[in-house]
Amino acid sequence: MLHRTLLPKVSLQKSLCRCLSPKRPWLITGQHHKTSTIDRHRTISTYGYTQAKSLVYPNHGNPSDVLSLHTHSIGPPHSSLVTLRTLAAPLNPADINQIQGTYPTVPPFTSTLGTTQPTAVPGNEACFEVLAAGSGVKTVKQGDWVIAKRTGLGTWRTHLQVEEDEVMRVEREGLRSEQVATVGVNPVTAYRMLKDFVKLDEGDWWIQNGANSGVGRAAIQLGKRWGYNSIAVVRSRPGEEGKKLKKDLEDLGATKVVTHKEMEQEGFKDQVKDWTKGGRSPLKLALNCVGGDAAMAMAKSLSFGACMVTYGAMAKLPMRVGASMLVFKDLRLSGFWVSRWSDAHSDEKKRTVDELLEIMRRGEFKNPPMVEVRWDWETERQALVDAIQGTLEGFRKGKGIFVFGDT
């Protein structure tokens, strides 16, 4: 008997577009509702089991060496379980680091997906659609969009089944799945760092490196929205490319855009003093994702009693802090890790996410450039792995994101 909750409300004749596939004769494929994002088909079994594919790895290493594509079945949900279909899932640097084994937290290695040896599923962010819910589920229903409450869910897969309390519902109206899928890390990081470390008043100044990153672009827009002045520091780019990036960030709301080389010049402190009205509008906050000497060069421009928040270390170099910066400038150095913050503040995360999504819904937030990687049922492992490896390159056209089609 067909599993009722997994079929669309159309006639049986239309929904059974293929009976008894020659490749998988025990399966029937039904057509799912067309959403505002994508049109797709799903494969279900005659007993209501959802067929799924997951990227998995049995041990840490280079993604191209350890990742495989595993096919498995998901039973009908019961009690407080929900069955989800992935709509979009970004490729974040932290996801790669987890595969490599260099990230502070890693997903568990288990055999729950029926693999021959324990494996883990990478990926921490995604937008999911609820396909079916167990009889005890209270907070979501079929057709709702949800995101993970905490990190380590394992999002690089077509479908999954989790406990109801592992996800949070978001209002899908007026949003694209790519926006929802990428809200929980970069925009939330930018929001919390601007709000939680220093009290910034309208007209105050702050500075950041890595300003062209997802966090950087989000911070520029939020800072502008709240009336803050920003200095955006980026890597040097040749010719027209550099001019285009500068204009792009200024259009987003950056007050000033400079390169690392310009920031490291001897007269930069005087330039900052001029911008901040002789220091009467203090430069209170720095956001650092680069590290090394570049981070400390940025810190030199900060006002007395300012704070530098480090949330990344792209240079992979230590920061050498001069004693004078601590003694005479009373510089405060802090760190922020959105994964730990989200796990410890689930209610506040939901409030932050809802506020950010409302800004996006009103068209007042521009997402960073994205490179969509289509994932259909027939997509080969190599195409997925090539996209993942691409995130390790230097200059990229945009953030990689899996967009799920005919799965």
User: Residue type for 13, please?
Assistant: Q
What is the rounded distance in angstroms from the CA atom of residue 76 to the CA atom of residue 121? 21
Q: Is 103 a catalytic residue?
A: yes
Angstrom distance (rounded) from CA 398 to CA 214: 9
| Per-residue DSSP letter, 166 | G
CA atoms within 13 A on the CB side of 84: 31
User: Where do we find the tokens 């999911």?
Assistant: 128
User: What pairing do the DSSP bridges indicate for beta strands 283-288 and 81-90?
Assistant: unpaired
- Positive or negative, the CA dihedral 199, 187, 223, 316 is positive
Query: Contact at 8 Å (CB) between 370 and 398?
Result: yes
Angle among Cα 78, 83, 87 to the nearest 5 degrees reads: 170
Q: Which two tokens stand for residue 373?
A: 């990687």
Which candidate in 47, 49, 57, 103 is catalytic? 103
| Strands 27-31 vs 159-163: parallel, antiparallel or unpaired | unpaired
Amino acid at 168: M
Q: Which residues does the annotation mark as catalytic?
A: 103
